[in-house]
Chains A and B, each alone.
Chain A
Amino acid sequence: MDESVGGIMFLAIKEILHNKTRYLLVVFTVFLISYLVFFLTSLAVGLARENRTAVDQWQAKSAVISSYSNKSLTVSTIPKEKYQSYTDDKNIAELGQMTVVSQLKDSDKKINTNIFGVDWNSFISPKLIEGRLPKNNKEVVIDNSLENDSFKMNSRVKINGSSNYFKVVGITKNNSFFAVPVIFTNMDVFRTLKYGSDKVENISGLVVKNNQKIKKAGLTQISIKDLINHIPGYNAQVLVFSFMIVAMIIITFLIISIFMYIITIQKISLYGVMRAQGIRTGRIVESLFYQIFILTILGSVLALVLIAATQLFLPKTVPFYSNWLAYGVLTLAIVVMALMGGLISIRRVVKIDPLSAIEGE
């Protein structure tokens, strides 16, 4: 390796240490922007997850819903004659979905929830972290996020103002759909709630675990990705967050380029001296980029530390989800943008005339 790399690092670090306030300001700005980027990302990922974790749990390839439903599971209904030929296939599971309001016994608080009606023996049956699967039409399994609303084992729950109570016998986790937690029931309970009677043997859709193709009049097969994208509001949400995050990263580029340009202009006479002493322009440019690199890494690492702390202290109801891979990619994007911000200053440095050192300008 070229020995002068040591010289570049020496120059860059010495200068930062000698002008601490000036460079701390740069670090602080990068820190604030990075923190905002990370925070927004965590919220975006958290919200997106609340829309879809229940679907992700299936680990399925596709879903079959009614053709008229415009790819939205929430409005799909499939009558028995359309789906009964698939009920023996272990790789196909029937699903009933409806949006309901739940209420604990002796509580006035109404909570928006989803009902997933499932066959307890199918592959979309929930994985329990506590308790057991229901044995009759009076028992349900709930997602553990309902614990934030005081739901727990053996709680008695009223669904859509039902006259009888359902008993919580099992708890699952990461089962949220459409940003509200899921209550799992058997198909009979689902049909009674949605269609008024368990004799109406409709379902909302079929979940297909493998790659098989299903073609039937009135039914549409869509990929799981498609299903998620058609959760009402999901796409808009993801887009809004993505735009905000991209905008923040572009702002990083602008701020770093402006900061570095101003600092460069202030240092022109110094660069003149360095050029007169025989230090090459290339070295000066490398030192500038090395500084940008150090400052941005410092700023974003501080932001990561604060994000980790935020995660510890944020209330559980905030849809905040730390995705360290995403943070890594974003940190990289911020550093790349900051380095690109330095490009604008290069022109200035290259034009520096060592004569300016002699003239004392």
Chain B
Amino acid sequence: MHLVEMNNVNRQYGSGRTLFEALHPTDFVLDRGEFIGLTGPSGSGKTTFLTILGLLQSPTQGQILVNGQDVTKMSDSEKTDLRFNKFGFVLQASNLIPFLTVNEQFKLVNKFSHSRRKKINPKELLDILDLKDVADKYPNNLSGGERQRAAIARALYNNPDIILADEPTASLDSKRAEQVVELLAQIAHNSQKAVIMITHDTRLLSATDHVYEMRDGYLRQQD
């Protein structure tokens, strides 16, 4: 069983003459331990693909299976819970809650979490991401890089099976960007998770297992 399986999934916007196919019918499979890089020009449909995979929007047609379960048949709140438990998002715009300190972002996850699944030790997480000194700061008071790392920490904290990262290194210098990608690779390989990372920086793709390219709504594997 694959972790995620997409069968003939597409996404259209508008209708009739204004019909626009952001994602053409796509088959895609994601397995544990995989670190996948996704590139492509802006507007090519990368984010559409990632948000459909992350259950943030529904496909127009097709079937998506997560752990063998058909998500296209789930209710909104079931999808929200699945997102909370299985997915970790690292977003372009920060996914941090502005009125909570870095530590409190973790605390909120604890409070809303029903499952007893193991969380990642927050101290370790802050250590790896070099956030120890800013753990009690609000997102506003963090530098761009710190905020991005805090967002990664937040995504990882829930110990999700699937991590979806949209330009996670956008505001980092190259040394730190490499460290973050290295960290994502480790997470995929060592703890049997799947990571998909959108990036424009082709140098960072060397750490990934497979690279996909999105062009005009068509997804192609590059290697």
Contacts and interface: CB of A to CB of B under 8 A. Distances in A.
Contact of B108 (A11, A276, A354, A358): A11
Secondary structure type dominating chain A contacts = helix
Interface in B36-50: 47, 50
A7 B56 contact: no
Interface stretch (A12-20, A111-119, A187-195): A12-20
Nearest to B112: A7
A7 B108 contact: yes
A277 interface: yes
A355 B53 CA distance: 12
B interface, size bucket: 35 or more
A277 B84 contact: yes
Interface stretch (B85-93, B186-194, B200-208): B85-93
Contacts of A3: 111, 114
Interface in A1-46: 3-4, 6-7, 10-11, 14-15, 17-19
Interface stretch (A56-64, A150-158, A278-286, A310-318): A278-286
Nearest to A278: B84
Contacts of A278: 80-85, 87, 112
Contacts of B95: 273, 276-277, 357
A15 B84 CA distance: 21
Interface string A338-358: 000000000000000111011
B28 interface: no
A276 B107 contact: no
A179 B108 CA distance: 59
A146 interface: no
B57 interface: yes
A270 interface: yes
Contacts, number: 85
A358 B166 contact: yes
B108 A357 contact: no
B138 interface: yes
A313 to B, nearest CB: 39
B112 A270 contact: no
Contact of B99 (A4, A15, A275, A358): A15
A91 to B, nearest CB: 67
A98 interface: no
Given A11-B108, A273-B97, A358 B92 contact: yes
Contacts of B80: 275, 278-281
Nearest to B138: A18
Contacts of A279: 80, 84, 112
A275 B154 CA distance: 14
Contact of B57 (A7, A283, A355): A355
B15 interface: no
Interface string B59-90: 00000000000000000110011111101010
B50 to A, nearest CB: 8
B26 interface: no
A274 interface: yes
Nearest to A279: B112
A360 interface: yes
Interface in A265-309: 269-270, 273-283
A270 B98 contact: yes
B51 interface: yes
Contact of A277 (B57, B76, B89, B99): B89
Contacts of B129: none
A10 B113 CA distance: 14
B93 A283 contact: no
A355 B92 contact: no
B196 interface: no
B96 interface: yes
B99 A355 contact: no
Contact of A358 (B51, B77, B114, B154): B51
Interface of A: 3-4, 6-7, 10-11, 14-15, 17-19, 269-270, 273-283, 353-355, 357-360
Given A4-B114, A269-B93, 16 more contacts: A3-B111, A14-B99, A14-B104, A15-B99, A273-B94, A275-B80, A276-B54, A276-B56, A279-B80, A280-B80, A281-B77, A281-B80, A355-B57, A357-B95, A358-B50, A358-B92
13 contacts: A4-B111, A4-B112, A7-B111, A10-B111, A11-B108, A15-B99, A17-B99, A273-B94, A273-B95, A355-B51, A357-B91, A358-B51, A360-B91
